[in-house]
Amino acid sequence: MTTKPRYDEIEKFREALDSCTKCGFCMAGCPVYREEKVENSVARGKIMLIRSMLDGDLDVTDGMAEQLNRCTLCMTCAQNCPAGTNVPTVITAARAEKTKRQGVPFPYNVIYRWLLPRRRLFGWAVRIASWVQGIFLPKTEGTIRHLSMFLAALGKGRHIPQIAPKFLRESVPVVNKPKGGKTKLTVGYFTGCMTDFVFPELGTKIINFLTKNGIEVIVPRGQGCCGAPVFLGAGDFKTGRKMADANVKAFKDLDYIITDCATCASAMKDYTKFLADTDERKKQYENFGKKIKDITEFLVDVAKLPASAYQTAKEFKGKTVTWHEPCHLGRYLGVKEQPRKILKALKDIKFVEMPDADRCCGMAGTFSIYFYDLSQKIAAKKAASIKSTGADVVVTDCPGCQIQLIDTLKRLKSRVQVRHIMELLD
């Protein structure tokens, strides 16, 4: 008699798996299904595939793995589900089962297991990449580089920001005291990979804004990548735990941890759900997750800064601005009104709400590398929403979304600027 394979990671979320009633409400909002109109692309179809795995009728083949990866984890399906089925959670667990059996393919295994967990080594690799960018990749505008067409694995002709000549951690001290006056609060700043290596000027601006408003900012050198590409994207929970443990240790003595990246914030809050394999880890991860605040959430709900604290930076005065809400910010973290409150407090801009502001832009980490053409089709709908507002600037709260929007708008020859919301502040 053949024994059914065990899928322990999926079994942890059996309740979510079984709650799906196959009603099809998930079809309406799924960004992938909107483009492909294929049953396997939508949440309901993926649930059926995963159930076949558990029943022993289907093994984790390459085709199955591709369907599991063909999801942005945007949570739109869960938002539209009458039963409240959290399909992204089940898909993440299924990715972990696939990785247990097949491992992480090259070159991602080298990146995820050897580079990302080793911050100094990863920094050297980024330095080399910066050198390659400077020599081989043509500059299109400002600090935007254009990937050559032969680099298809990274996106066919994709526009990407230039890696910074000086990283954030090389530019700021560990302890950043308020500029005169009393310290009201002390926070740890989780910089993430993008702000550290690509947008350090954003990190510097955030630190200056906080210290100007009486908040001490600690930038621990022991922090690393949040682990989102590793445990959420690739399903490598083992490596994800090592990265989570490093971040928990780096911020252990702080009451608040702020970040400017919605993906980083939601990934770190998910340590407990996916990576807590012991009671001790569960306790540590839960305490760590409670400290994490998106920067806009912190400013509005914790620091409670008055509207007068938000002044418009000179270059944006008189501009029309619209807001792209990252999936991880709105649907994962539930942070919706706080960034809008900040934008509405800026008297020198015209804020226009775009249609479907919370629609996925198609970035979703490695999804946009595996399925670049598909991600661009998804992004084109977001670009149409942006265009309809007549905005000069689209702001967001996720550096990953920034890169996707920059690429998309450049391809469409749009002159709309893409910025992080904190860049608007003086």
Say which range, 98-107, 137-146, 256-265, 278-287, has the weakest mean pLDDT.
137-146
The one-letter amino acid code at 83 reads: A
Mean pLDDT of the chain, nearest integer: 90
Q: Where are the alpha helices (DSSP H) in 233-371?
A: 237-250, 262-269, 271-275, 279-291, 295-297, 327, 337-345, 367-370
Strand 292-294 versus strand 257-259 pairing type: parallel
Amino acid 164: pLDDT: 87
Q: pLDDT band at 153, cuts 50/70/90?
A: very low
Q: pLDDT band at 217, cuts 50/70/90?
A: very high
Q: And the tokens for 154?
A: 């990274």
Cα torsion 303, 308, 312, 314 to 10°: value is -120
pTM: 0.93
Chain position carrying tokens 């089709």:
377
Determine if the peptide bond prior to 105 is cis (ω within 30°).
Answer: no
Q: Which domains does the chain have, with CATH numbers?
A: 8-102 (1.10.1060.10), 308-424 (3.40.50.1860)
Q: pLDDT band at 132, cuts 50/70/90?
A: confident
Q: Is the dihedral of CA 89, 194, 371, 114 positive or negative?
A: negative
Contact 293, 266 (CB under 8 A): no
Q: pLDDT band at 157, cuts 50/70/90?
A: low
Indicate the length of the chain as a whole number. 426
Q: pLDDT band at 109, cuts 50/70/90?
A: confident
Instruction: Please give the sequence-ordered ranges of beta strands (E in DSSP) within 104-157, or none if there are none.
Output: 139-141, 144-146
Convert the pLDDT of each residue in 193-202 to its tens digit: 999 999 999 9
Q: And the tokens for 265?
A: 């914030």
Convert the pLDDT of each residue in 255-272 to its tens digit: 999 999 999 999 999 999
Convert the pLDDT of each residue in 288-310 to its tens digit: 999 999 999 999 999 999 999 99
Amino acid 401: pLDDT: 95
Question: Looking at residues 59-67, what average pLDDT do you find?
Answer: 75
Amino acid 149: pLDDT: 43
Convert the pLDDT of each residue in 367-400 to its tens digit: 988 898 999 999 999 999 999 999 999 999 999 9
Q: pLDDT band at 151, cuts 50/70/90?
A: very low
